Amino acid sequence: MIQISRKNYDDIPEPLTRPGTFRQIERAIVNMDGEKYNTTYYKDEIVVNKLKAFSVHKDDLNEGDRPKCYYCESYVDHVAVLQVEHFRPKAKVDNIDNNGLPHSGYYWLGLEWSNLLLSCPNCNGKKAKGNRFPLVDSNNRTSAINPIRNPPLSYDRTYCIANQPTLLNEEPLLINPEYEDPTPHLTFDEFGQIYGIGEKGETTVDILKLYRDPLLAARQAKLNSIIEEINLACVARQINRIDDSGLKVWFEKECTKVLELDNVKNEYCLWSRYIIANFESCVVSKIHMYKDELRLAFLQVG
Ligand SMILES: [Zn+2]
């Protein structure tokens, strides 16, 4: 998970500003039920394409762009279809609050632009986030409001925007990558397993199941192909297929590949940044020869 920096909460896609949208919100409020939303509004192509573009840090999606899950950073064309996900669950909050009270969900936020993210089914599904939305103190959970002004039919977002004090004061334990940098809350080991730092990081990793095996394997694969090449270079040098300068060129090519992993358009960018910041433990420690040459090559290209 890395910060999604492009979304402007005030630049609302047109489908979410239609009178029909407000009528949907109004109906959810009257029924106190976020299940009743017509999905055609938040699943409108304009809305979805905006969210997809932001996932690769662009304003608009171009051909060839590969959208990522906001949470696990997987490309979705090999995970399944990206889903529009409600950061604050619209229909129900699972794991009833500490005080034992069930929560009806944030039904008034079902079509709120700042509440919509993009997620793969593995992060968003019932086995992961589902309707979970824990807070530091569940007594801080905000009360329902009615943002619909009628007549004329309009939508007062004052208390609905995700970075407004009312909602921030809830202190969610799930990281919202749109308004906060996940970096201080997440770390890895040298094999690509992810760990939360502090209660918020740990809860986020747990809710989204960011430690799941396919993600771990995908992160490992990203690094292993480079380590294999580095080992090949070592063997080539050892049997004199290449000389010292050949080894240097080969190492520098592989070190450049490591640096190029840090690209917001790539999968698992946070993991890539960890590798670069921890080159010694992630890469150097995994080879058995020419460690000094490799360190030097990394310094040269860095
Ligand atoms: Zn995901």
pLDDT of residue 139: 87
Q: Give the type of residue at 23.
A: R
Contact 103, 63 (CB under 8 A): no
pLDDT of residue 223: 95
Centroid of ligand 1 to alpha carbon of 110 (angstroms): 20
Centroid of ligand 1 to alpha carbon of 127 (angstroms): 12
| Residues listed for the chain | 302
pLDDT of residue 52: 93
Centroid of ligand 1 to alpha carbon of 1 (angstroms): 9
pLDDT of residue 150: 86
Centroid of ligand 1 to alpha carbon of 202 (angstroms): 16
CA atoms within 13 A on the CB side of 250: 21
pLDDT of residue 76: 79
pLDDT of residue 98: 60
Beta bridge partners of 196: 186
pLDDT tens string 241-263: 999 999 999 999 999 999 999 99
Contact 165, 158 (CB under 8 A): no
Centroid of ligand 1 to alpha carbon of 53 (angstroms): 16
Centroid of ligand 1 to alpha carbon of 147 (angstroms): 31
What's the average pLDDT block by block, 10 residues per block, for the chain (302 residues)?
Answer: 92 94 94 89 91 92 91 79 92 73 88 96 91 91 91 91 94 95 97 97 97 97 96 97 98 98 96 98 97 98 92
pLDDT tens string 55-114: 999 999 888 899 999 999 999 765 468 889 999 999 989 866 666 667 889 999 999 999
**Residues whose Cβ atom is located within 5 A of ion ligand 1:** 69, 71-72, 120, 123
Strands 83-86 and 186-188: unpaired
